[in-house]
Amino acid sequence: MTKLSMLAAAVAALAIPTSAHAANPACSSLPDPIVVAGSSAVGPFIASMGKTLSGQATPTTLIYQKQGSCTGVNAVVLDTTPTGACASGACIRGTATYYDSTGTALQCDLDANGTHVDVGLSDVWVDTCTGQLPPSGVKDISGPVEAMAFVVPKASQQIAILAEEAYFVFGYGMTGQAKPWVNEMQLFVRNALSGTQQIMAHTVSVPAGRWKGIDKGNADGVISAVGTSTAPEATIGIVGAADYDQHRDTLTELAFQSFHQKGAYYPDSTATSFDKKNVRDGHYTAFGYLHMVTHVNGTGDPATSASLRFVDWITGNTTRTAAPFDITDVTIKAHLIPTCAMKVQRNSEGGALSPFHPATDCSTHFEQTVGQ
């Protein structure tokens, strides 16, 4: 099978939601299921956790559906009856992905009437999706940092993009005259439900719902379209940096210069490194946090055993919930950035950066792990 046909098959397999398939097991029949949904940018992170959890003596199964950050947010925020029938707009349907102990992605069938989501996964804050703070009984809990990136085909000669350029490329399209990206059929984007697009939207001041280009549905769609473009110089797309790191053979990441910045920077210190140095120290501004959106009880803790364990695993609360992995290492190996390796922070989407001093600095461990 060629690399191209393998990629096409993978994209087809990830087209969601799909109708139930007779050969798939019911998701609810899998051992200790925890249902998460939303961001596609955190796919490698969820896959890594899912593999380890399913390999335990008493296995847990992560059930994951990726349709975009705001879909995950809405599945929880609109779920006003989390223990009853699904409210309008709540829950997920069709098929979902889970991982066996070898890390193989498999498919299972969700309940025909909808499956409640334990934790919505989002690259952006709840209010970025809904325009409102989380409703009473729902909490937005921040996790590791995710960088987003502009990418071009490997054959492109482009190496950098300014925020001002991106404003004209994606806000105006062809009429923006920001060469060489003036063909809207070669701008591969997402949509307003995508955390990737929302973060980029806040970074370059083009509202997520007004982007010019072709909506490729999810990260895999953008990666495929950009990587196989026959017009490389005119082609550009947006993906999570973690996804880019796994497709460096077909894509080139552009250095980015923010508004009011002097010079463009890669997320990493160089085009070939993996240290996310410029994200961690604030030179690369296109980043957000993984947000876990979940129902909480009266004390503010995740309301169910499933959601509590998932949140504790990611936030590293091993005092309350034992973990079968070192979440810092899982995070790093999934090309995300644990907050303990960050030197800067922000408190709103695309908001101003300020210094950050983690309680326990893991920068050295981060750099050693990624091989820098």
Partner 1 sequence: MKKLIFITLALAGCGSDNKAKPDAPVVHEVDAAVDAPAGPDCFMGTPMTHDEIINACPDPGVTRIFKHPSLPLMNPDGTLPPLP
Q: Which of 167, 191, 233, 365 binds partner 1 (CB under 8 A)?
A: 167
DSSP calls for 71-107: HHHHHHHT-S-TTSSPPTT-SB-SEEEEE-TT--EEE
Using CB under 8 A as the binding rule, whether residue 357 contacts partner 1 is answered as no
Beta carbon nearer to partner 1, 103 or 209? 209
Reading the block at residue 179, the tokens are 């060469």
Decide: 225 and 200 in contact? Cβ < 8 Å. Answer: no
Nearest distance from C-beta of residue 347 to partner 1, angstroms: 12
Beta carbon nearer to partner 1, 177 or 364? 177
Decide: 109 and 25 in contact? Cβ < 8 Å. Answer: yes
The Cα–Cα gap between 210 and 95 comes to 30
Using CB under 8 A as the binding rule, whether residue 45 contacts partner 1 is answered as no
Using CB under 8 A as the binding rule, whether residue 102 contacts partner 1 is answered as no
Nearest distance from C-beta of residue 34 to partner 1, angstroms: 37
SS (H, E, C) 321-340: CCCCCCHHHHHHHCCCECHH
Kindly identify the residues of this chain, within the stretch 260-319, that bind partner 1 according to CB under 8 A.
Answer: 260-266, 269-271, 277-278, 281-283, 285
Using CB under 8 A as the binding rule, whether residue 174 contacts partner 1 is answered as no
Mask: binding to partner 1, 316-345, rule CB under 8 A, as x and -? ----------------------------x-
Using CB under 8 A as the binding rule, whether residue 64 contacts partner 1 is answered as no
The Cα–Cα gap between 38 and 74 comes to 9
Residues 6+ apart with CB under 8 A from 89: 74, 75, 78
The Cα–Cα gap between 253 and 194 comes to 19
Using CB under 8 A as the binding rule, whether residue 3 contacts partner 1 is answered as no
Decide: 1 and 10 in contact? Cβ < 8 Å. Answer: no
Q: Which of 106, 160, 182, 214 binds partner 1 (CB under 8 A)?
A: 160
Q: Which of 6, 354, 361, 368 binds partner 1 (CB under 8 A)?
A: 354
The Cα–Cα gap between 94 and 111 comes to 8
How many residues belong to the site for partner 1 (CB under 8 A)? 44
Q: Which of 4, 17, 112, 179 binds partner 1 (CB under 8 A)?
A: 179
Which residues contribute to the site for partner 1 (CB under 8 A)? 157, 159-162, 164-165, 167-168, 171-172, 175-179, 205-207, 210, 255, 257-258, 260-266, 269-271, 277-278, 281-283, 285, 344, 352-355
